Structure 1
Amino acid sequence: MTTSFPKDRIHIVLCEGIHQRAVDVLAGEGFRVELLTHAPSAAELEQLIGRVHVLGIRSKTHLSQEHFAAAKRLLAVGCFCIGTNQVALDAAAMCGVPVFNAPFSNTRSVAELTIAEIIALHRCLFARSCALHAGRWHKSASGAHEVRGRTLGIIGYGHIGSQVSILAEALGMRVCYFDIEPKLALGNARRLGSLDELLGAADVVTLHVPETEQTRGMIGQAELARMKPGSFLINNARGSIVDVKALASAVRTGHLAGAAIDVFPSEPASKDEPFESELCGIENVILSPHIGGSTVEAQANIAEDVAGKLIRFINHGSTTGSVNVPSVELPEQAPAGDLDASQRPHRILHFHHNEPGVLSKLHHAIADLGVNVTGEYLRTNAQIGYVVLDVSPTDADQLLTRIRAMPETIRTRVLW
């Protein structure tokens, strides 16, 4: 299907070294793709945002309300990661810019890292390895345990948490979990009624929750004190969830036997910046540089997943998988073939404020031009609506002028 705007003029910029697979998939569709190996600086981002049609980012590039206000050409944003808290999602929606992510693609990688850390912490593997690198032969069973029969407490039983549950149970661990939403327990896992109950029951607690107002600071001094003496804490979720100063104190005093932390409240912007944390230098604390989803397999999966969602939106108008606008899945249209431009049908994409009477106004604008609607697809949320209209051949510019004049219109364009 040929879009009304030539594909080779649609400029896509992928930042932060996004996997080459995304470049290949998008370029294979005929788009003009530019790859940046770094997160753009504030000045660079300000310059980029006004000239690109699609922006691909990971976790270090932050997009604010001001960015979207200046992004007159921007059609969509692809977050090549799970989290989207680095993007002002409501502002994007109010500019008619859908944001896509990859909520499942690195699930296995994060789950496997979590299991590896559970075993390593129970065997004091990190501390033993550091001692040996320093020339000290410290062979001892003191403090080392099998994970079989131990109780794992999972906070957040979503895609990653449930995968961890399956793998841990296969190792012979007893699994319990807490989630604010009702979730079906897998295997023999038990759902507990409160966070406090889980903290007091688990030998190792692992966090798998998104960053929200409710989860920021979720694990602080009081929560750490409720954990079992000699237990472990793992955070492969978001850096804002755990008070690292309180965690450092809990491990140093011996209340906790150790921890594994992959995410931090403040992370270096590049490999050239130093890393500092209260957790540095503490024995049996495993620190890793936000690599939970950093496997070749996960990054390739993420690249293909998000690139595919962007292609479906650009080519057909489908918003399935968007995190900020209503989800509309659209059928593919048959090619127009050799039809003259005046005989070709049009597809209109229309984002609007969700107010009564919008569809009626749209239909009147179309009917006044003697145009027939051959297909209509509508979804709404509390704030905005997204409608896709397939209409019979007409003067597209005249129709756009009428629709854009509607006060409820956020953004409208002719896809073809």
Structure 2
Amino acid sequence: MVSYPKGKIKVLLLENIHKDAYELFHRDGFDVTLVKDAMEEAELIEKISDVHVLGIRSKTNVTMKALANAKKLMTIGCFCIGTNQVELEEAEKKGIPVFNAPYSNTRSVAELVIAEIIMLARKATDQSRDVHLGKWNKIAKGCFEVRGKTLGIIGYGHIGSQVSVLAESMGMKVIFFDIISKLPLGNASSVHSYEELLKQSDFITFHVPETEETKNLFRKEHLNLVKPGAYLLNLSRGKVLEIDALVEGLKSGKLAGAGVDVFPEEPKSNDDPFVSPLQGLPNVILTPHVGGSTEEAQKNIGSEVAEKLLKYVNNGSTTFSVNFPNIELGSLKSGYHRILNIHQNQPGFLRDINSIISDLGGNILTQNLSTSANIGYLSMEIDKNLGDELKDKIKAHKHSIRTRILY
């Protein structure tokens, strides 16, 4: 249904995105390039100039400078949960919807959280390291069952609630805190404040997005609130924990252990070195941002995001876009063209468009408009004999950002 030849639509997939995404685009006739690594800003600015569809994971930052050079870019796919690596508002203003996969790696992250809780409670990583070094240190002191312990979850979204279900199945008491009222699953219960959760929990796990409000959510002053011997886990975003506070808590013995999968500064590639003050501390599990890195999760993410991008390019649907007015569009009826227009959200725009159609003697089969504070997204199915002429007139409107036609 795309009017522009698919073979001329360039798709650039970075950061070793799953091959299923490549296959979906390739099978549909697009010109696809798959790149193993992330791109720094300068390289991305150069490469993005003739790209129509961009796919990234968490390491590539789509900055305002990059977007300024993205003259042909139609849409961006974040093949991950987070989208903070993209200047979302700027992309919206330029008429570029952004899609992600908010649920596809939920189970993978939740399973790693549960695994780390058990490993920390039993000091299993330290015990394993000792045995590898030829040390036989069989002790029970400081090793515990997780049954009957209290797990505090900060952020009761898709991952947090999945952790809740798995933890409860092992006999843990689950409490949670979220800034939005959430329905508890099973026997989990919400607490009234973040501070109250810290005071009650034996294990504390963070599952929040990276925002100004969540930056350094756990700081040195919070060490006074946690139980002596509590455990801290962060498999959400690297800037949620103040690393110095975590180090102080571990060295002082206030915290009995920690599991950290995300860091404030992370290497750009597997070939770059990694340095952290957490390295070498006892009963600390450090992993290289692999919470969602399972074959199942990456396969699901690859197909989920690619399918959303294809729906937008092929028929104009913006359902599940994170920065764009959402419109769900079906197949195009025979004898009609679909005109898709992105425009500045200004009074009178729709009136002007309808006047243009009326002046041309056109008939509208369907018309859908959805708006945000900045933009409006308009879809119309009209007589095919008016298609190109109408498209050109709409495109010329002073508030139009982008206009395309589907045959």
TM-score, normalized by length of structure 1?
A: 0.96
Deviation at 1:395, TM superposition (A): 4.3
Q: Deviations over 1:338-380 (max 9, x none)?
A: xxxxxx4211111112222111111112222111111111111
After superposing the two structures, state which structure 1 stretch, 377-386 or 233-242, moved more: 377-386
Separation in 1, partners of 2:210, 2:62:
16
Q: Is the 8 A contact 1:101 1:322 kept in 2?
A: yes
Q: Is the 8 A contact 1:371 1:393 kept in 2?
A: no
Separation in 1, partners of 2:385, 2:47:
35
Deviation at 1:46, TM superposition (A): 1.2
Match of 1:384 among 375, 383, 387: 375
The residue aligned with 1:225 is 224
Separation in 2, partners of 1:107, 1:8:
35
The residue aligned with 1:141 is 140
After superposing the two structures, state which structure 1 stretch, 20-29 or 112-121, moved more: 20-29
After superposing the two structures, state which structure 1 stretch, 62-71 or 11-20, moved more: 62-71
Separation in 2, partners of 1:62, 1:272:
19
Deviation at 1:115, TM superposition (A): 0.3
The residue aligned with 1:90 is 89
The residue aligned with 1:266 is 265
The residue aligned with 2:350 is 359
Q: Is the 8 A contact 1:218 1:242 kept in 2?
A: yes
The residue aligned with 1:115 is 114
Unaligned runs of 5+ in 2: none
Could you tell me which amino acid in structure 2 is paired with residue 317 of structure 1? Answer: G
Q: Deviations over 1:129-179 (max 9, x none)?
A: 111112111110011000000000000000000000000000000000000
Could you tell me which amino acid in structure 2 is paired with residue 302 of structure 1? Answer: I
Q: Is the 8 A contact 2:233 2:259 kept in 1?
A: yes
Name the SS for the 2:221 alignment partner: helix
Separation in 2, partners of 1:155, 1:325:
28
Separation in 2, partners of 1:372, 1:384:
25
Could you tell me which amino acid in structure 1 is paired with residue 339 of structure 2? Answer: I
The residue aligned with 1:26 is 25
Separation in 2, partners of 1:215, 1:224:
17
Q: Deviations over 1:358-412 (max 9, x none)?
A: 1111111222211111111111122211111111123434322321232222221
The residue aligned with 1:162 is 161
Q: Is the 8 A contact 2:362 2:386 kept in 1?
A: no
Q: Does 1:198 align with 2:204?
A: no
Matches within 5 A, 1:237-276: 237-276=236-275
Quote the sequence identity (%).
Answer: 51
The residue aligned with 1:300 is 299
Separation in 2, partners of 1:365, 1:228:
68
The residue aligned with 1:126 is 125
TM-score, normalized by length of structure 2?
A: 0.98
Q: Is the 8 A contact 2:45 2:65 kept in 1?
A: no
Could you tell me which amino acid in structure 2 is paired with residue 119 of structure 1? Answer: I
Separation in 2, partners of 1:271, 1:96:
34
The residue aligned with 1:406 is 397
Separation in 1, partners of 2:180, 2:223:
23
Separation in 2, partners of 1:381, 1:249:
45
How many residue pairs get aligned? The number is: 407
Unaligned runs of 5+ in 1: 337-343
Q: Is the 8 A contact 1:16 1:39 kept in 2?
A: yes
Separation in 1, partners of 2:64, 2:270:
28
Q: Does 1:415 align with 2:391?
A: no
Separation in 2, partners of 1:13, 1:299:
17
Name the SS for the 2:351 alignment partner: helix
Q: Does 1:78 align with 2:77?
A: yes
Name the SS for the 1:240 alignment partner: coil
Could you tell me which amino acid in structure 2 is paired with residue 147 of structure 1? Answer: V
